[in-house]
């Protein structure tokens, strides 16, 4: 009499494991399907490049410096544009590059590193540009970066050691979250860090 019971339990165990395996497989499959391109300009200390590289660890990401960016982004479901902030704006060459692209509703996010606060103002032009080119803005990331611009070099610069491990972790988490939630959530995901 005990035999069928054991078989039943064993059978249930197998079924549950199979179901769990299927669920994990589907999740992995859906993550794999999402292709992400990240294009960056990083000319001062390589700060934005470090953030871009951390982001690229978070999925199926093709990472391009601006000079090696592909002509077409149509095979990507999510595109990230990033740079340092140079005189209140994201990099002019990156802006010119985006101006020559157009799309219809492709999801894009912006990211930057900067010396000071005012992220909201610094991203304004880029935000307007990407939406005017037909992208749908899904997220914005920004953190502090080592800055020795102008007279700051005399003082040894500001934000020494930034971006740091904490910024990299936030950058990875940001892309992971965007790639998971972008279909479900219509709002713009923001991750902005000013503390050290
Ligand atoms: C020419 C120049 C202008 C800058 N202007 C600003 C600025 O307006 N606001 C700001 O917060 N940081 C400014 N910075 C600091 C950079 O945004 C910061 O160091 C950034 O992390 C540089 O990124 P990168 O190393 O990827 O080039 C400026 C730096 C340079 C070289």
Quickly state the pLDDT bin for 195 (edges 50, 70, 90): confident
The CATH T-level fold of domain 34-193 is Rossmann fold (3.40.50)
Residue 87 beta carbon below 6 angstroms from any ligand 1 atom: yes
Residue 147 beta carbon below 6 angstroms from any ligand 1 atom: yes
Distance (angstroms) between ligand 1 centre and the Cα of 182 equals 29
The distance from CA 184 to its chain's CA centroid, rounded to whole angstroms, is 17
pLDDT at 50: 98
Question: Of all atoms in ligand 1, which is nearest to the CA of residue 159?
Answer: 19
Are the CB atoms for 34 and 77 separated by under 8 Å?
yes
Distance (angstroms) between ligand 1 centre and the Cα of 48 equals 10
Cα dihedral across residues 11, 14, 18, 19: positive or negative: positive
In the chain, which ranges are E strands? 36-41, 61-65, 78-86, 89-90, 107-114, 136-144, 189-193
The reply to whether the predicted model has a pTM over 0.75 is yes
Question: Of all atoms in ligand 1, which is nearest to the CA of residue 48?
Answer: 26
The predicted-structure confidence for 43-76, as pLDDT tens digits, reads as follows 999 999 999 999 999 989 999 999 999 999 999 9
The predicted-structure confidence for 79-132, as pLDDT tens digits, reads as follows 999 999 999 999 999 999 999 999 989 999 999 999 999 999 999 999 999 999
> Atom 9 of ligand 1 has which residue's CA nearest to it?
88
């Amino acid at each position: 009499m005990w035999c069928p019971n054991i078989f039943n339990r064993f059978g249930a165990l197998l079924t549950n494991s199979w179901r769990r395996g299927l669920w994990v497989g589907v999740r992995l499959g859906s993550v794999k399907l999402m292709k992400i391109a990240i294009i960056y300009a990083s000319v001062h200390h390589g700060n934005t490049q470090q953030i871009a590289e951390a982001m690229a660890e978070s999925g199926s990401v093709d990472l391009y410096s601006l000079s090696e960016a592909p002509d077409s982004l149509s095979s990507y479901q999510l595109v990230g544009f990033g740079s340092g902030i140079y005189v209140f704006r994201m990099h002019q060459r990156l802006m010119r590059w985006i101006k020559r692209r157009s799309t219809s509703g492709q999801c894009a996010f912006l990211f930057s590193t900067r010396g000071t606060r005012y992220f909201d103002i610094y991203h304004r032009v880029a935000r307007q540009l990407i939406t005017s080119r037909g992208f749908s803005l899904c997220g914005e990331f920004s953190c502090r970066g080592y800055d020795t611009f102008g007279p700051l070099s005399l003082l040894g610069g500001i934000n020494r050691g930034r971006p740091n491990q904490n910024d990299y972790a936030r950058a990875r988490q940001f892309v992971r979250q965007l790639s998971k939630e972008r279909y479900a959530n219509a709002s713009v995901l923001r991750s902005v860090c000013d503390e050290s």
